[in-house]
Structure 1
Amino acid sequence: MANSEHIKVESEADNGDLRVVAAIWANGLLTFAQVAGGIYAGSLALVADALHNFSDMAALVIALAARKIARRPANLRMPFGYGRIEVVAALINYTTLIVIGLYLIYEGGMRIFEPQEVAGWTVVLVGVVALIVDLATAALTYSMQKGSVNIRAMFLHNLSDALASIAVVVVGIIVILYDVKWIDPVVTICIAIYILYVAFSEIGTPVRTLMLASPPGISYEELIDVIGNIEGVVELHNVHLWQLSENASAFDAHIVLAREAWMGVEVIKKEIKNVLRGRFEINHSTLEFECYDRDSPCEYSMLGISEGMTRR
Protein backbone atom coordinates (compact mmCIF):
# COMPACT_ATOMS: atom_id res chain seq x y z
CA MET A 1 0.00 0.00 0.00
CA ALA A 2 2.75 2.44 0.99
CA ASN A 3 4.72 1.52 -2.12
CA SER A 4 1.74 2.22 -4.39
CA GLU A 5 1.22 5.64 -2.73
CA HIS A 6 4.93 6.42 -3.22
CA ILE A 7 4.67 5.52 -6.91
CA LYS A 8 1.56 7.74 -7.23
CA VAL A 9 3.38 10.72 -5.67
CA GLU A 10 6.37 10.19 -7.98
CA SER A 11 4.04 9.95 -11.00
CA GLU A 12 2.32 13.22 -10.06
CA ALA A 13 5.71 14.91 -9.58
CA ASP A 14 6.95 13.70 -12.98
CA ASN A 15 3.71 14.88 -14.60
CA GLY A 16 4.19 18.28 -13.01
CA ASP A 17 7.78 18.43 -14.28
CA LEU A 18 6.57 17.70 -17.83
CA ARG A 19 4.10 20.58 -17.61
CA VAL A 20 6.89 22.92 -16.51
CA VAL A 21 9.14 21.74 -19.36
CA ALA A 22 6.33 22.36 -21.87
CA ALA A 23 5.85 25.85 -20.42
CA ILE A 24 9.60 26.55 -20.72
CA TRP A 25 9.62 25.70 -24.42
CA ALA A 26 6.46 27.73 -25.07
CA ASN A 27 7.87 30.82 -23.33
CA GLY A 28 11.23 30.45 -25.04
CA LEU A 29 9.70 30.40 -28.53
CA LEU A 30 7.33 33.22 -27.63
CA THR A 31 10.17 35.41 -26.31
CA PHE A 32 12.06 35.01 -29.59
CA ALA A 33 8.94 35.89 -31.62
CA GLN A 34 8.14 38.92 -29.45
CA VAL A 35 11.66 40.35 -29.58
CA ALA A 36 11.74 39.99 -33.37
CA GLY A 37 8.24 41.45 -33.71
CA GLY A 38 8.95 44.28 -31.26
CA ILE A 39 12.12 45.34 -33.10
CA TYR A 40 10.39 45.14 -36.49
CA ALA A 41 7.29 47.03 -35.29
CA GLY A 42 9.25 49.54 -33.18
CA SER A 43 7.08 48.74 -30.15
CA LEU A 44 8.62 49.09 -26.70
CA ALA A 45 5.47 47.58 -25.17
CA LEU A 46 6.02 44.42 -27.21
CA VAL A 47 9.70 44.28 -26.25
CA ALA A 48 8.67 44.86 -22.62
CA ASP A 49 6.29 41.92 -22.84
CA ALA A 50 9.11 39.88 -24.43
CA LEU A 51 11.44 40.68 -21.53
CA HIS A 52 8.71 39.70 -19.12
CA ASN A 53 8.27 36.42 -20.99
CA PHE A 54 12.01 35.84 -20.90
CA SER A 55 11.92 36.31 -17.14
CA ASP A 56 9.09 33.76 -17.12
CA MET A 57 11.26 31.27 -18.95
CA ALA A 58 14.07 31.86 -16.45
CA ALA A 59 11.54 31.53 -13.62
CA LEU A 60 10.33 28.23 -15.05
CA VAL A 61 13.88 26.87 -15.33
CA ILE A 62 14.62 27.90 -11.73
CA ALA A 63 11.32 26.44 -10.54
CA LEU A 64 11.96 23.14 -12.33
CA ALA A 65 15.46 22.84 -10.86
CA ALA A 66 14.11 23.70 -7.41
CA ARG A 67 11.35 21.06 -7.69
CA LYS A 68 13.90 18.39 -8.50
CA ILE A 69 16.33 19.43 -5.75
CA ALA A 70 13.53 19.67 -3.18
CA ARG A 71 12.71 15.98 -3.65
CA ARG A 72 16.15 14.89 -2.44
CA PRO A 73 16.03 13.06 0.90
CA ALA A 74 17.46 14.54 4.10
CA ASN A 75 21.04 13.63 5.00
CA LEU A 76 23.67 14.43 7.63
CA ARG A 77 24.62 17.70 5.96
CA MET A 78 20.99 18.73 5.30
CA PRO A 79 19.02 17.22 8.20
CA PHE A 80 15.83 19.13 7.29
CA GLY A 81 16.04 18.10 3.64
CA TYR A 82 16.06 20.36 0.57
CA GLY A 83 12.46 21.59 0.62
CA ARG A 84 13.40 25.20 1.36
CA ILE A 85 15.16 25.49 -2.03
CA GLU A 86 11.73 26.18 -3.53
CA VAL A 87 11.39 29.20 -1.23
CA VAL A 88 14.80 30.43 -2.42
CA ALA A 89 13.68 29.96 -6.05
CA ALA A 90 10.53 31.99 -5.39
CA LEU A 91 12.60 34.81 -3.87
CA ILE A 92 14.90 34.85 -6.94
CA ASN A 93 11.92 34.98 -9.29
CA TYR A 94 10.20 37.83 -7.47
CA THR A 95 13.47 39.77 -7.30
CA THR A 96 13.84 39.31 -11.06
CA LEU A 97 10.35 40.73 -11.57
CA ILE A 98 11.26 43.82 -9.53
CA VAL A 99 14.43 44.46 -11.58
CA ILE A 100 12.52 44.06 -14.88
CA GLY A 101 9.72 46.35 -13.68
CA LEU A 102 12.14 49.13 -12.74
CA TYR A 103 13.99 48.79 -16.07
CA LEU A 104 10.74 49.03 -18.07
CA ILE A 105 9.68 52.17 -16.20
CA TYR A 106 13.03 53.75 -17.13
CA GLU A 107 12.75 52.76 -20.81
CA GLY A 108 9.11 53.83 -20.99
CA GLY A 109 9.98 57.24 -19.54
CA MET A 110 12.69 57.74 -22.15
CA ARG A 111 10.29 56.78 -24.97
CA ILE A 112 7.68 59.33 -23.84
CA PHE A 113 10.14 62.11 -24.61
CA GLU A 114 11.30 60.43 -27.84
CA PRO A 115 8.27 58.62 -29.32
CA GLN A 116 8.86 56.26 -32.25
CA GLU A 117 6.76 54.90 -35.09
CA VAL A 118 4.90 51.70 -34.18
CA ALA A 119 3.63 49.09 -36.69
CA GLY A 120 0.21 48.49 -35.19
CA TRP A 121 -0.80 45.32 -37.08
CA THR A 122 2.44 43.55 -36.17
CA VAL A 123 1.94 44.48 -32.52
CA VAL A 124 -1.64 43.16 -32.55
CA LEU A 125 -0.70 39.89 -34.27
CA VAL A 126 2.23 39.10 -31.99
CA GLY A 127 0.26 40.25 -28.96
CA VAL A 128 -2.60 37.84 -29.71
CA VAL A 129 -0.17 34.94 -30.15
CA ALA A 130 1.53 35.91 -26.86
CA LEU A 131 -1.82 36.05 -25.06
CA ILE A 132 -2.72 32.53 -26.22
CA VAL A 133 0.65 31.13 -25.11
CA ASP A 134 0.52 32.98 -21.77
CA LEU A 135 -2.96 31.67 -20.98
CA ALA A 136 -1.95 28.12 -21.96
CA THR A 137 1.16 28.32 -19.75
CA ALA A 138 -0.85 29.68 -16.82
CA ALA A 139 -3.35 26.83 -17.28
CA LEU A 140 -0.51 24.28 -17.18
CA THR A 141 0.67 25.52 -13.79
CA TYR A 142 -2.65 26.59 -12.19
CA SER A 143 -3.38 23.34 -10.37
CA MET A 144 0.26 23.06 -9.20
CA GLN A 145 0.55 26.55 -7.67
CA LYS A 146 -1.91 26.03 -4.82
CA GLY A 147 0.54 24.07 -2.65
CA SER A 148 3.88 25.59 -3.65
CA VAL A 149 5.20 29.13 -3.23
CA ASN A 150 7.77 28.29 -5.92
CA ILE A 151 5.14 27.33 -8.52
CA ARG A 152 2.90 30.20 -7.39
CA ALA A 153 5.68 32.67 -8.24
CA MET A 154 5.96 31.05 -11.66
CA PHE A 155 2.16 31.07 -12.15
CA LEU A 156 1.95 34.78 -11.27
CA HIS A 157 4.71 35.45 -13.80
CA ASN A 158 2.54 33.83 -16.48
CA LEU A 159 -0.68 35.49 -15.35
CA SER A 160 0.89 38.94 -15.35
CA ASP A 161 2.27 38.16 -18.82
CA ALA A 162 -1.25 37.39 -20.07
CA LEU A 163 -2.47 40.75 -18.77
CA ALA A 164 0.54 42.47 -20.34
CA SER A 165 -0.26 40.79 -23.68
CA ILE A 166 -3.82 42.15 -23.51
CA ALA A 167 -2.34 45.62 -22.96
CA VAL A 168 -0.03 45.14 -25.97
CA VAL A 169 -2.98 44.20 -28.19
CA VAL A 170 -4.83 47.33 -27.01
CA VAL A 171 -1.75 49.42 -27.88
CA GLY A 172 -1.68 47.99 -31.41
CA ILE A 173 -5.38 48.68 -31.95
CA ILE A 174 -5.08 52.30 -30.71
CA VAL A 175 -2.05 52.89 -32.95
CA ILE A 176 -3.95 51.51 -35.97
CA LEU A 177 -7.08 53.58 -35.30
CA TYR A 178 -5.64 56.87 -34.02
CA ASP A 179 -1.86 56.81 -34.70
CA VAL A 180 -1.15 57.82 -31.09
CA LYS A 181 2.60 57.30 -30.62
CA TRP A 182 2.82 58.04 -26.90
CA ILE A 183 0.40 55.23 -25.97
CA ASP A 184 3.14 52.58 -26.42
CA PRO A 185 5.52 53.86 -23.70
CA VAL A 186 2.62 54.79 -21.40
CA VAL A 187 1.23 51.25 -21.55
CA THR A 188 4.77 49.93 -21.04
CA ILE A 189 5.00 51.90 -17.78
CA CYS A 190 1.56 50.59 -16.74
CA ILE A 191 2.74 47.02 -17.38
CA ALA A 192 5.87 47.71 -15.32
CA ILE A 193 3.85 49.13 -12.41
CA TYR A 194 1.64 46.04 -12.41
CA ILE A 195 4.73 43.78 -12.46
CA LEU A 196 6.14 45.64 -9.45
CA TYR A 197 2.79 45.39 -7.63
CA VAL A 198 2.69 41.61 -8.11
CA ALA A 199 6.32 41.18 -7.06
CA PHE A 200 6.15 43.35 -3.92
CA SER A 201 2.82 41.89 -2.79
CA GLU A 202 4.12 38.30 -3.00
CA ILE A 203 7.81 38.55 -2.08
CA GLY A 204 7.01 38.81 1.64
CA THR A 205 6.07 35.12 1.88
CA PRO A 206 9.48 33.65 0.90
CA VAL A 207 11.28 36.37 2.86
CA ARG A 208 9.31 35.52 6.03
CA THR A 209 10.07 31.82 5.60
CA LEU A 210 13.80 32.37 5.07
CA MET A 211 13.89 34.73 8.07
CA LEU A 212 12.34 31.98 10.25
CA ALA A 213 9.35 34.19 11.07
CA SER A 214 6.35 32.75 12.86
CA PRO A 215 3.78 31.11 10.55
CA PRO A 216 1.17 33.66 9.40
CA GLY A 217 -1.72 31.26 10.04
CA ILE A 218 -0.84 30.52 13.68
CA SER A 219 -1.48 32.87 16.60
CA TYR A 220 1.55 32.85 18.89
CA GLU A 221 -0.50 34.16 21.81
CA GLU A 222 -3.23 31.56 21.35
CA LEU A 223 -0.71 28.71 21.15
CA ILE A 224 0.99 29.81 24.39
CA ASP A 225 -2.36 30.23 26.11
CA VAL A 226 -3.60 26.77 25.07
CA ILE A 227 -0.44 24.99 26.23
CA GLY A 228 -0.24 27.10 29.40
CA ASN A 229 -3.76 25.99 30.39
CA ILE A 230 -2.95 22.28 30.22
CA GLU A 231 -3.19 20.82 33.70
CA GLY A 232 0.21 20.60 35.39
CA VAL A 233 1.89 23.29 33.27
CA VAL A 234 3.15 26.22 35.36
CA GLU A 235 4.78 28.34 32.66
CA LEU A 236 6.70 28.34 29.38
CA HIS A 237 9.95 30.05 28.49
CA ASN A 238 12.51 30.05 25.65
CA VAL A 239 9.60 29.62 23.27
CA HIS A 240 10.31 29.57 19.51
CA LEU A 241 7.74 29.22 16.74
CA TRP A 242 8.89 29.44 13.13
CA GLN A 243 8.16 28.51 9.54
CA LEU A 244 10.30 25.49 8.80
CA SER A 245 9.27 25.35 5.14
CA GLU A 246 6.33 26.49 3.08
CA ASN A 247 3.97 23.82 4.39
CA ALA A 248 5.60 22.95 7.71
CA SER A 249 5.96 24.81 11.01
CA ALA A 250 8.20 24.08 13.99
CA PHE A 251 7.96 24.75 17.72
CA ASP A 252 10.31 24.39 20.65
CA ALA A 253 9.98 25.47 24.26
CA HIS A 254 10.93 24.82 27.86
CA ILE A 255 7.82 23.64 29.72
CA VAL A 256 7.87 24.10 33.50
CA LEU A 257 5.65 21.58 35.35
CA ALA A 258 4.38 21.63 38.91
CA ARG A 259 6.16 19.19 41.24
CA GLU A 260 2.97 17.16 41.72
CA ALA A 261 2.58 16.78 37.94
CA TRP A 262 6.15 15.65 37.31
CA MET A 263 5.34 11.93 37.50
CA GLY A 264 2.90 12.40 34.61
CA VAL A 265 5.37 14.23 32.37
CA GLU A 266 4.99 11.70 29.53
CA VAL A 267 1.21 12.08 29.55
CA ILE A 268 1.51 15.88 29.50
CA LYS A 269 4.06 15.72 26.69
CA LYS A 270 1.72 13.55 24.63
CA GLU A 271 -1.15 15.96 25.25
CA ILE A 272 0.94 18.95 24.16
CA LYS A 273 2.09 17.12 21.03
CA ASN A 274 -1.51 16.25 20.17
CA VAL A 275 -2.57 19.87 20.62
CA LEU A 276 0.29 21.07 18.41
CA ARG A 277 -0.57 18.58 15.67
CA GLY A 278 -4.34 18.68 15.85
CA ARG A 279 -5.09 22.34 16.53
CA PHE A 280 -2.09 24.13 15.05
CA GLU A 281 -0.85 21.61 12.43
CA ILE A 282 2.66 21.64 13.88
CA ASN A 283 4.26 18.23 13.38
CA HIS A 284 7.82 19.18 14.30
CA SER A 285 8.27 20.10 17.95
CA THR A 286 11.01 19.91 20.57
CA LEU A 287 9.95 20.13 24.22
CA GLU A 288 12.21 20.35 27.26
CA PHE A 289 10.52 19.81 30.60
CA GLU A 290 11.54 21.35 33.93
CA CYS A 291 10.16 20.81 37.42
CA TYR A 292 9.05 23.67 39.66
CA ASP A 293 8.74 23.23 43.40
CA ARG A 294 6.81 26.07 45.07
CA ASP A 295 8.66 25.38 48.35
CA SER A 296 12.09 25.75 46.79
CA PRO A 297 12.93 29.41 45.95
CA CYS A 298 16.37 28.35 44.76
CA GLU A 299 14.96 25.96 42.18
CA TYR A 300 12.40 28.54 41.08
CA SER A 301 15.10 31.10 40.36
CA MET A 302 17.03 28.52 38.34
CA LEU A 303 14.12 27.16 36.34
CA GLY A 304 11.60 29.93 36.20
CA ILE A 305 13.56 33.12 35.58
CA SER A 306 14.71 33.34 31.99
CA GLU A 307 14.80 36.00 29.34
CA GLY A 308 11.84 35.69 27.04
CA MET A 309 9.71 33.82 29.64
CA THR A 310 6.01 33.61 28.91
CA ARG A 311 3.82 33.22 32.00
CA ARG A 312 0.40 31.73 32.06
Structure 2
Amino acid sequence: MISILLNILITVSQVIGGLISGSLSLISDALHNFSDVVSLIISYVARRLSKRKASNNRTFGYKRAEIMAAFVNAATLILVAIYLVKEAIERFVEPVPIKSGIVIWMAVLGIAANGFSVLLLKESSKGNMNMKSAYIHLLTDMLASVAVLIGGLVMKYFEVYWIDSVLTFAIAIYLIFVGWDLLKNATKILMLFTPDEIDIKELVREVHKIEGVKKLHHIHVWHLNEDELHLEAHLDCDENITLLEFDTLLHKIEAVLDDKFGINHINIQPEYKKEDIKDFIVQD
Protein backbone atom coordinates (compact mmCIF):
# COMPACT_ATOMS: atom_id res chain seq x y z
CA MET A 1 0.00 0.00 0.00
CA ILE A 2 2.90 2.36 0.74
CA SER A 3 4.37 1.62 -2.69
CA ILE A 4 0.99 2.21 -4.36
CA LEU A 5 0.59 5.63 -2.71
CA LEU A 6 4.18 6.62 -3.55
CA ASN A 7 3.73 5.69 -7.20
CA ILE A 8 0.48 7.63 -7.48
CA LEU A 9 2.38 10.68 -6.19
CA ILE A 10 5.23 10.11 -8.66
CA THR A 11 2.88 9.57 -11.62
CA VAL A 12 0.94 12.80 -11.04
CA SER A 13 4.13 14.78 -10.45
CA GLN A 14 5.87 13.44 -13.55
CA VAL A 15 2.87 13.96 -15.84
CA ILE A 16 2.69 17.60 -14.75
CA GLY A 17 6.47 17.97 -15.00
CA GLY A 18 6.57 16.30 -18.42
CA LEU A 19 3.84 18.51 -19.85
CA ILE A 20 5.48 21.69 -18.53
CA SER A 21 9.02 20.72 -19.60
CA GLY A 22 8.09 19.00 -22.87
CA SER A 23 10.17 15.93 -21.95
CA LEU A 24 8.99 12.70 -23.57
CA SER A 25 11.29 10.58 -21.39
CA LEU A 26 9.69 12.11 -18.28
CA ILE A 27 6.18 11.42 -19.60
CA SER A 28 7.28 7.88 -20.56
CA ASP A 29 8.58 7.42 -17.03
CA ALA A 30 5.23 8.69 -15.71
CA LEU A 31 3.40 6.22 -17.95
CA HIS A 32 5.57 3.41 -16.63
CA ASN A 33 4.83 4.65 -13.10
CA PHE A 34 1.12 4.49 -13.84
CA SER A 35 1.57 0.89 -14.98
CA ASP A 36 3.36 0.36 -11.65
CA VAL A 37 0.30 1.63 -9.80
CA VAL A 38 -1.94 -0.75 -11.75
CA SER A 39 0.46 -3.69 -11.31
CA LEU A 40 0.83 -3.05 -7.57
CA ILE A 41 -2.94 -2.93 -7.10
CA ILE A 42 -3.33 -6.17 -9.09
CA SER A 43 -0.53 -7.80 -7.06
CA TYR A 44 -2.03 -6.62 -3.79
CA VAL A 45 -5.51 -7.95 -4.64
CA ALA A 46 -4.05 -11.25 -5.93
CA ARG A 47 -1.98 -11.63 -2.76
CA ARG A 48 -5.11 -11.23 -0.63
CA LEU A 49 -7.15 -13.60 -2.80
CA SER A 50 -4.47 -16.32 -2.74
CA LYS A 51 -4.86 -16.61 1.03
CA ARG A 52 -8.59 -17.39 0.84
CA LYS A 53 -9.61 -20.92 1.77
CA ALA A 54 -10.90 -23.51 -0.69
CA SER A 55 -14.65 -24.13 -0.94
CA ASN A 56 -17.07 -26.55 -2.59
CA ASN A 57 -17.14 -24.59 -5.84
CA ARG A 58 -13.50 -23.42 -5.63
CA THR A 59 -11.66 -26.56 -4.57
CA PHE A 60 -8.24 -25.01 -5.24
CA GLY A 61 -9.24 -21.72 -3.67
CA TYR A 62 -7.59 -18.74 -5.39
CA LYS A 63 -4.08 -20.21 -5.49
CA ARG A 64 -3.60 -19.19 -9.13
CA ALA A 65 -4.54 -15.56 -8.53
CA GLU A 66 -0.91 -14.52 -8.12
CA ILE A 67 0.17 -16.29 -11.32
CA MET A 68 -2.61 -14.51 -13.23
CA ALA A 69 -1.48 -11.21 -11.70
CA ALA A 70 2.09 -11.86 -12.83
CA PHE A 71 0.84 -12.61 -16.35
CA VAL A 72 -1.19 -9.38 -16.52
CA ASN A 73 1.67 -7.31 -15.09
CA ALA A 74 4.17 -8.74 -17.56
CA ALA A 75 1.80 -8.11 -20.46
CA THR A 76 1.32 -4.48 -19.42
CA LEU A 77 5.09 -4.00 -19.24
CA ILE A 78 5.42 -5.11 -22.86
CA LEU A 79 2.44 -3.02 -24.10
CA VAL A 80 3.77 0.10 -22.40
CA ALA A 81 7.20 -0.58 -23.91
CA ILE A 82 5.80 -0.89 -27.45
CA TYR A 83 4.01 2.45 -27.05
CA LEU A 84 7.22 4.09 -25.81
CA VAL A 85 9.20 2.79 -28.80
CA LYS A 86 6.68 4.40 -31.15
CA GLU A 87 6.77 7.73 -29.30
CA ALA A 88 10.57 7.72 -29.05
CA ILE A 89 11.02 7.22 -32.79
CA GLU A 90 8.58 10.04 -33.58
CA ARG A 91 10.29 12.43 -31.16
CA PHE A 92 13.76 11.48 -32.45
CA VAL A 93 12.72 12.48 -35.98
CA GLU A 94 11.40 15.83 -34.70
CA PRO A 95 13.26 16.78 -31.46
CA VAL A 96 11.95 19.73 -29.43
CA PRO A 97 13.60 21.96 -26.78
CA ILE A 98 13.07 20.65 -23.24
CA LYS A 99 13.10 22.41 -19.86
CA SER A 100 15.79 20.24 -18.32
CA GLY A 101 15.58 21.65 -14.77
CA ILE A 102 12.10 20.21 -14.21
CA VAL A 103 13.21 16.90 -15.74
CA ILE A 104 16.13 16.65 -13.32
CA TRP A 105 14.05 17.30 -10.18
CA MET A 106 11.26 14.94 -11.25
CA ALA A 107 13.82 12.23 -11.97
CA VAL A 108 15.33 12.67 -8.50
CA LEU A 109 11.83 12.31 -7.01
CA GLY A 110 11.29 9.12 -9.02
CA ILE A 111 14.60 7.62 -7.95
CA ALA A 112 13.92 8.33 -4.27
CA ALA A 113 10.32 7.05 -4.18
CA ASN A 114 10.89 4.00 -6.39
CA GLY A 115 14.10 3.15 -4.61
CA PHE A 116 12.26 3.07 -1.30
CA SER A 117 9.49 0.91 -2.83
CA VAL A 118 12.10 -1.49 -4.25
CA LEU A 119 13.58 -1.95 -0.77
CA LEU A 120 10.10 -2.60 0.65
CA LEU A 121 9.31 -5.37 -1.86
CA LYS A 122 12.75 -6.93 -2.32
CA GLU A 123 12.35 -9.69 0.28
CA SER A 124 8.78 -10.57 -0.80
CA SER A 125 9.87 -10.90 -4.44
CA LYS A 126 12.07 -13.92 -3.72
CA GLY A 127 10.27 -17.11 -4.75
CA ASN A 128 6.97 -15.41 -5.60
CA MET A 129 6.23 -14.60 -9.24
CA ASN A 130 3.45 -12.14 -8.42
CA MET A 131 5.57 -10.07 -6.04
CA LYS A 132 8.52 -10.38 -8.43
CA SER A 133 6.42 -8.85 -11.22
CA ALA A 134 5.58 -5.87 -8.99
CA TYR A 135 9.21 -5.64 -7.87
CA ILE A 136 10.46 -5.64 -11.48
CA HIS A 137 7.99 -2.88 -12.37
CA LEU A 138 9.41 -0.74 -9.58
CA LEU A 139 13.06 -1.66 -10.18
CA THR A 140 12.88 -0.87 -13.90
CA ASP A 141 11.11 2.39 -13.12
CA MET A 142 13.87 3.38 -10.71
CA LEU A 143 16.43 2.61 -13.42
CA ALA A 144 14.33 4.58 -15.90
CA SER A 145 14.38 7.56 -13.52
CA VAL A 146 18.18 7.27 -13.35
CA ALA A 147 18.27 7.36 -17.16
CA VAL A 148 15.95 10.38 -17.19
CA LEU A 149 18.21 12.15 -14.67
CA ILE A 150 21.27 11.52 -16.83
CA GLY A 151 19.35 12.77 -19.86
CA GLY A 152 18.23 15.87 -17.97
CA LEU A 153 21.82 16.70 -17.02
CA VAL A 154 23.05 16.17 -20.61
CA MET A 155 20.27 18.43 -21.94
CA LYS A 156 20.97 21.09 -19.32
CA TYR A 157 24.71 21.36 -19.86
CA PHE A 158 25.11 20.29 -23.51
CA GLU A 159 21.65 21.04 -25.03
CA VAL A 160 21.57 17.62 -26.71
CA TYR A 161 17.79 17.16 -26.82
CA TRP A 162 17.71 14.00 -28.93
CA ILE A 163 19.10 12.15 -25.89
CA ASP A 164 15.55 12.28 -24.49
CA SER A 165 14.27 10.02 -27.29
CA VAL A 166 17.27 7.68 -27.10
CA LEU A 167 16.78 7.16 -23.36
CA THR A 168 13.06 6.55 -23.86
CA PHE A 169 13.87 3.91 -26.49
CA ALA A 170 16.42 2.26 -24.18
CA ILE A 171 13.91 2.16 -21.33
CA ALA A 172 11.35 0.53 -23.62
CA ILE A 173 13.75 -2.17 -24.85
CA TYR A 174 14.67 -3.03 -21.26
CA LEU A 175 10.98 -3.29 -20.34
CA ILE A 176 10.38 -5.71 -23.21
CA PHE A 177 13.37 -7.81 -22.12
CA VAL A 178 12.28 -8.25 -18.48
CA GLY A 179 8.57 -8.40 -19.28
CA TRP A 180 8.94 -11.16 -21.85
CA ASP A 181 10.78 -13.50 -19.46
CA LEU A 182 8.13 -13.02 -16.77
CA LEU A 183 5.27 -13.40 -19.29
CA LYS A 184 6.79 -16.63 -20.62
CA ASN A 185 7.12 -18.18 -17.14
CA ALA A 186 3.59 -17.19 -16.10
CA THR A 187 2.20 -18.59 -19.37
CA LYS A 188 3.92 -21.94 -18.81
CA ILE A 189 2.24 -22.30 -15.42
CA LEU A 190 -1.19 -21.21 -16.66
CA MET A 191 -0.94 -23.65 -19.59
CA LEU A 192 0.01 -26.52 -17.22
CA PHE A 193 3.30 -27.14 -19.03
CA THR A 194 5.78 -29.53 -17.45
CA PRO A 195 8.27 -27.38 -15.50
CA ASP A 196 11.64 -26.94 -17.22
CA GLU A 197 13.48 -28.53 -14.30
CA ILE A 198 11.49 -31.79 -14.52
CA ASP A 199 12.80 -34.55 -16.79
CA ILE A 200 9.90 -36.98 -17.25
CA LYS A 201 12.16 -39.81 -18.45
CA GLU A 202 14.45 -39.42 -15.44
CA LEU A 203 11.42 -39.29 -13.15
CA VAL A 204 10.11 -42.57 -14.59
CA ARG A 205 13.50 -44.24 -14.21
CA GLU A 206 13.64 -43.32 -10.53
CA VAL A 207 10.09 -44.56 -9.81
CA HIS A 208 10.72 -47.82 -11.72
CA LYS A 209 13.59 -48.61 -9.34
CA ILE A 210 11.08 -49.07 -6.51
CA GLU A 211 10.16 -52.69 -5.80
CA GLY A 212 6.56 -53.48 -6.74
CA VAL A 213 6.36 -50.90 -9.55
CA LYS A 214 5.81 -52.29 -13.04
CA LYS A 215 5.19 -49.12 -15.08
CA LEU A 216 4.29 -45.49 -14.43
CA HIS A 217 2.25 -44.01 -17.31
CA HIS A 218 -0.40 -41.40 -18.21
CA ILE A 219 1.87 -38.85 -16.49
CA HIS A 220 1.03 -35.18 -15.94
CA VAL A 221 3.33 -32.81 -14.01
CA TRP A 222 2.41 -29.16 -13.50
CA HIS A 223 2.63 -26.19 -11.15
CA LEU A 224 -0.62 -25.14 -9.47
CA ASN A 225 1.27 -22.12 -8.20
CA GLU A 226 4.90 -21.51 -7.30
CA ASP A 227 4.65 -23.49 -4.06
CA GLU A 228 2.73 -26.54 -5.28
CA LEU A 229 4.13 -28.94 -7.88
CA HIS A 230 1.63 -31.66 -8.79
CA LEU A 231 1.89 -35.07 -10.41
CA GLU A 232 -0.89 -37.38 -11.49
CA ALA A 233 -0.30 -40.73 -13.16
CA HIS A 234 -1.41 -44.34 -13.55
CA LEU A 235 0.70 -47.03 -11.90
CA ASP A 236 0.84 -50.64 -13.07
CA CYS A 237 1.68 -52.89 -10.11
CA ASP A 238 3.69 -56.10 -10.38
CA GLU A 239 1.17 -58.02 -8.29
CA ASN A 240 -2.47 -57.87 -7.23
CA ILE A 241 -1.67 -56.18 -3.90
CA THR A 242 -4.03 -55.02 -1.16
CA LEU A 243 -4.87 -51.37 -0.51
CA LEU A 244 -2.69 -51.45 2.59
CA GLU A 245 0.24 -52.71 0.54
CA PHE A 246 -0.41 -50.07 -2.09
CA ASP A 247 -0.32 -47.36 0.60
CA THR A 248 3.14 -48.57 1.59
CA LEU A 249 4.24 -48.50 -2.06
CA LEU A 250 2.73 -45.04 -2.50
CA HIS A 251 4.70 -43.66 0.47
CA LYS A 252 7.93 -44.86 -1.16
CA ILE A 253 6.99 -43.20 -4.46
CA GLU A 254 6.04 -39.95 -2.71
CA ALA A 255 9.39 -39.88 -0.90
CA VAL A 256 11.35 -40.32 -4.16
CA LEU A 257 9.33 -37.71 -6.06
CA ASP A 258 9.57 -35.17 -3.25
CA ASP A 259 13.26 -35.69 -2.47
CA LYS A 260 14.55 -35.82 -6.04
CA PHE A 261 12.08 -33.68 -7.99
CA GLY A 262 10.38 -31.42 -5.43
CA ILE A 263 6.91 -32.76 -6.31
CA ASN A 264 4.76 -32.25 -3.22
CA HIS A 265 1.24 -33.17 -4.43
CA ILE A 266 0.85 -36.66 -5.89
CA ASN A 267 -2.25 -38.45 -7.20
CA ILE A 268 -1.66 -41.98 -8.51
CA GLN A 269 -4.25 -44.38 -9.91
CA PRO A 270 -3.25 -48.01 -9.13
CA GLU A 271 -3.78 -50.67 -11.81
CA TYR A 272 -3.14 -54.40 -12.27
CA LYS A 273 -3.32 -55.98 -15.73
CA LYS A 274 -5.60 -53.21 -16.96
CA GLU A 275 -5.93 -53.03 -20.73
CA ASP A 276 -5.12 -49.43 -21.66
CA ILE A 277 -2.42 -47.35 -23.32
CA LYS A 278 0.85 -47.61 -21.39
CA ASP A 279 2.67 -44.61 -22.84
CA PHE A 280 4.30 -42.17 -20.44
CA ILE A 281 2.42 -39.24 -22.01
CA VAL A 282 -1.11 -39.84 -23.27
CA GLN A 283 -3.44 -37.26 -24.79
CA ASP A 284 -6.58 -37.73 -22.69
| Range into which the TM-score falls when normalised by the shorter chain | over 0.9
* 1:123-162 correspondence to structure 2 within 5 Å: 123-162=103-142
Q: Which of these residues, 65, 72, 94, is aligned with residue 85 of structure 1? A: 65
Q: Aligned to 1:146, what secondary structure does the other structure show? A: coil
Instruction: Tell which structure's C-alpha radius of gyration is larger.
Output: 1
Q: Which of these residues, 31, 36, 44, is aligned with residue 51 of structure 1? A: 31
Name 2:263's counterpart in structure 1: 282
The CA distance in 2 between the partners of 1:38 and 1:49, in whole Å, is: 9
The CA distance in 1 between the partners of 2:34 and 2:51, in whole Å, is: 26
Residue 265 of structure 1 pairs with residue 246 of structure 2: yes
Q: Aligned to 2:126, what secondary structure does the other structure show? A: helix
Q: CA deviation at 1:78?
A: 1.1
Percent identity for Structure 1 against Structure 2: 35
Q: CA deviation at 1:183?
A: 0.9
Cα contact 2:220–2:233 (8 A) shared by 1: yes
Q: Aligned to 2:272, what secondary structure does the other structure show? A: strand
Residue 102 of structure 1 pairs with residue 110 of structure 2: no
The CA distance in 2 between the partners of 1:127 and 1:309, in whole Å, is: 54
The CA distance in 1 between the partners of 2:106 and 2:147, in whole Å, is: 12
Taking structure 2 as the reference length, the TM-score comes to 0.94
The CA distance in 2 between the partners of 1:228 and 1:236, in whole Å, is: 7
1:209-268 CA deviation, whole Å, 9 max, x = no partner?
A: 100011233322221111111112111211111111111111111111112x73532321
Amino acid at match of 2:112: I
1:53-72 CA deviation, whole Å, 9 max, x = no partner?
A: 11001111111111111111
Count of residues paired in the alignment = 280
Q: Which of these residues, 217, 234, 244, is aligned with residue 224 of structure 2? A: 244
Cα distance change on mapping 1:235 and 1:70 into 2, 3 Å: same
Cα contact 2:63–2:224 (8 A) shared by 1: no
The CA distance in 1 between the partners of 2:40 and 2:203, in whole Å, is: 38
Amino acid at match of 1:237: H
Taking structure 1 as the reference length, the TM-score comes to 0.86
Name 1:175's counterpart in structure 2: 155
**Unaligned residue ranges in structure 2 (runs of 5+):** none
Q: CA deviation at 1:281?
A: 2.4
* 1:273-312 correspondence to structure 2 within 5 Å: 273-292=254-273, 302-303=275-276, 305-308=277-280
Task: Judging by fraction of residues, say which structure has more helix.
Answer: 1
